[in-house]
Homo-oligomer: A and B are copies of this chain.
Amino acid sequence: MKHDFSTHHRMSVATDVVVLTTDNKPLSNNRKVAEKGLQLLLVKRDEEPYNGCWALPAGFVNYDEPLLECAKRKLREKVGLDDIYLEQLYSYGDDVNRDIRGRVISIGYIALAPKEKILLNSERAGKEAEWFWIESATSEWEPDRLSFIAVKDPSVRITSLAFDHRMIIADALNRIKNKIMYTDVGFHLVNELFTVKELQTVYELLLGREVQAFRRVLNDKIIETDQWTDGKAHRPARLFKQR
């Protein structure tokens, strides 16, 4: 049986982007030290299906549009983000009913950036986009155990998302976790100039454990600059950049 390249095999293709960053958790009464946390960007859907549900920034790929370009466009349109690190995650299409409207293949992407870089751009747009806290996991992230806590209002804790987006998010987190020690992916979550402590915090949040002798491990991946943190209490920390 030969394929005649007819149209009745054609289906919709979408890109879904998991945007991750880190930020300081608000100071509470019993904590004097600023604690970092992982954040995820979600948007509120304004059409069926899952109207009103929180979801990943996503949308359909145009017929003449590269996949990566579509992911970038969706971030621009829905969140006002531009010029952010993107890598392909996985393609979702084993459940043929994952979208009630018809057959949809989703190409998952991961976007990473330090919060400072994202804030600048996202001021412009991002009406229905919000940041949510993700609790650091000691072992692997599991879709069923993920919950998302609104950064603006910590009393808002959601567990249900549109489509299979919980699975995509868990996959994204586990992918980054598994890569971080063997690749340079962690640098995308800090500024161009960073302290050792800042980078270490990123690693520890993703791994869900402490990393010992971090400076020594990173020694051949970073270059020291002659700049230092200032304005903060206690001894200043040297700023580094990626080698």
Q: In the complex, what residues of B have CB within 8 A of residue A3's CB? A: 59-60
Q: Give Cα A93–Cα B63 distance, bound, in whole angstroms.
A: 11
Closest Cβ–Cβ distance, residue A58 to chain B (whole Å) = 10
Q: Which of B7, B10, B62, B88 contacts A91 (CB 8 A)?
A: B88
> By the criterion CB–CB under 8 Å, are B13 and A105 in contact?
yes
How many positions in chain A have a CB within 8 Å of any CB in the partner chain? 36
Q: Give Cα A12–Cα B6 distance, bound, in whole angstroms.
A: 9
Q: In the complex, what residues of B have CB within 8 A of residue A182's CB? A: 178, 182
* A2 in contact with B47 given A11-B13, A11-B61 (CB within 8 Å): yes
Q: Give Cα A1–Cα B5 distance, bound, in whole angstroms.
A: 30
> By the criterion CB–CB under 8 Å, are A65 and B12 in contact?
no
A220 within 8 A of B: no
Q: Mark A55-87, 1 if CB is under 8 A from B, else 0.
A: 000011111111111000000000000000000
Q: In the complex, what residues of B have CB within 8 A of residue A69's CB? A: 94
Q: Give Cα A66–Cα B101 distance, bound, in whole angstroms.
A: 16
Q: Give Cα A72–Cα B35 distance, bound, in whole angstroms.
A: 48
Q: Could you name 30 residue pairs across A and B whose Cβ atoms are closer than 8 Å?
A: A2-B47, A3-B60, A5-B12, A7-B7, A8-B63, A9-B60, A9-B62, A10-B11, A10-B63, A11-B11, A11-B13, A11-B61, A11-B63, A13-B13, A13-B93, A13-B105, A61-B93, A63-B103, A64-B103, A66-B95, A66-B96, A67-B93, A67-B94, A68-B94, A69-B94, A88-B90, A91-B107, A105-B105, A178-B182, A182-B182
Known interface pairs A5-B60, A88-B91; 19 further A-B residue pairs with C-beta atoms within 8 A, sorted by A's residue number: A2-B47, A3-B59, A3-B60, A5-B102, A7-B7, A8-B63, A10-B10, A11-B11, A13-B13, A61-B93, A64-B103, A66-B93, A66-B94, A67-B91, A68-B94, A88-B90, A105-B105, A178-B182, A182-B182
A interface list, Cβ under 8 A from B = 2-3, 5, 7-13, 47, 59-69, 88, 90-91, 93-96, 101-103, 105, 107, 178, 182
